[in-house]
Amino acid sequence: MEKNIIISSRIRLARNIDGQFFTDKIDNKSAISLLSDVFNSLGDDFTCLKTKEISNEDKESYIEKHLISKDLLDHANISGVALSEDSSVSIMVNEEDHIRLQCILDGLNLKKAYDIINDIDTELSSNLNYAFDKKLGYITACPGNLGTGMRASVMMFLPALTMTNNIGKVANSIGKMGLCIRGAYGEGTGALGDLYQISNQSTLGKSEVEIIQIVESTVLKVVDLEKEARERLMEIKGDEIYDNAMRAYGILTNCYKLSSREFLNYVSTLKLGIGVGVIKVIDEKIVNDLFSSVMPATLNKLAGRILSEEDRDKYRAQYVNEILKDTKI
């Protein structure tokens, strides 16, 4: 069931070059030279792109996939990104910090993600002179990232804790351990799709390995809480959960229009059915991969043109119809 509850793991490191102003104050020449230095220090496995050379469609699509940030676009003249072939690793240059290294992997994989990103970081550090203080650790543009400069986060699917109104309780108890939980989509309107991100808040005073251990063990505790909540729900209204999941499947495989909000709701209902075992699918990854495939810019890329909102809802529906049609066993 972990596969159903834990969607993906992400490690991000913030690094800056010693003796240079932070991105907000750096002069263009130094910034561009810094960008070259980073790109040149990376192996052939990376596709290095200057932000200003990326098409608008790709930019939006990369943002949706969390491969780049809006901050990177704000420094479009001097910034760039290096992407690994499978896009699991992205290295942004001249974002808020000079360098932001990130690795996203499916499931609970913080250690592996850290190992991958740590290797690249070690490689880079041999060519670049990182700003590092023996007492404070890595120096970052925002004091909140000082120390390890690391953010370890895990995307979780928590429908039962949401339905039973227990997310607040979870937030309080993990807050005491220096972690936080927040909705992965649409923070203002509650967590759409019952998707949440759990991550460390403080980067100071603990080693990378310790932070990863705390996040992982907390995630596993939340998995247990979600499992318990699901068991209770199944006892009280198992038929309803099955019925709702089947209806969601029926809608997702037949609808002619589908907004992203509806998509998130129905996929959540379907995923809960998969999670509690009443619905069987060939591979749940097919369902999880939909989250990024049906976002607006990614749909534009798939369609090969800029879609109006109405056309996008139709294109999303058609895409989801096709993908899910033969996924249920």
User: Where does this chain bind a copy of itself (CB under 8 A)?
Assistant: 239-240, 242-243, 246-247, 249-257, 310, 314, 317
Helix (H, G, I), strand (E, B) or coil at 141: coil
**Between 232 and 325, CB nearer to a copy of itself:** 325
Pull the structure tokens for residue 56: 């608008």
**Between 149 and 273, CB nearer to a copy of itself:** 273
**Between 53 and 310, CB nearer to a copy of itself:** 310
**Between 85 and 329, CB nearer to a copy of itself:** 329
* DSSP string for 191-249: -GGGEEEEEES--SSS-HHHHHHHHHHHHHHHHHHHHHHHHHHHHHHHHHHHHHHHHHH
Helix/strand number for the chain, H first, E second:
12, 10
CB atoms within 10 A of CB 313: 21
State in angstroms the smallest separation of the CB of 252 from a copy of itself: 8
State in angstroms the smallest separation of the CB of 241 from a copy of itself: 10
Helix (H, G, I), strand (E, B) or coil at 271: helix
**Between 56 and 259, CB nearer to a copy of itself:** 259
Contacts of residue 121, defined as CB under 8 A and 6 or more positions apart, other chains included, come to 13, 15, 101
State in angstroms the smallest separation of the CB of 264 from a copy of itself: 16
State in angstroms the smallest separation of the CB of 255 from a copy of itself: 5
Reference 288, options 107, 60, 66; nearest CA is 107
